[in-house]
């Protein structure tokens, strides 16, 4: 992971490798692990990440809080 990589960049690269839809919670777990987010910042960062994901056109929100990449 590069120093300038955002949470959405990490999610994009991870989803690209998976090649299928994934629950938000699994994406978030990967973000926390990859970016080493401290326990005291997880809640705030999670809300920020969800908002960023909604606004990023690379991602598609699906039913049951699943996400995938747009084609």
Per residue in 1-37, pLDDT tens? 556 889 999 999 999 999 899 999 999 999 999 999 9
pTM: 0.88
Q: In the sheet where 66-69 sits, what is the strand order?
A: 22-23, 66-69, 59-61
Cα separation, 18 vs 59, in Å, equals 14
Cβ contacts of residue 16 below 8 Å, gap of 6+? 69
Segment 38-46 mean pLDDT: 95
The pLDDT value given to residue 64: 96
């Amino acid at each position: 992971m590069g120093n300038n990589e955002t949470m959405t960049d990490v999610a994009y690269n991870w989803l690209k490798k998976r090649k299928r839809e994934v629950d938000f919670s699994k994406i978030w777990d990967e973000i926390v692990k990859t970016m080493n987010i401290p326990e005291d910042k997880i809640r705030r960062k999670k809300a920020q990440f969800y908002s960023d994901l909604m606004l990023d056109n690379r991602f598609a929100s699906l039913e049951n809080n699943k996400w995938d990449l747009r084609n």
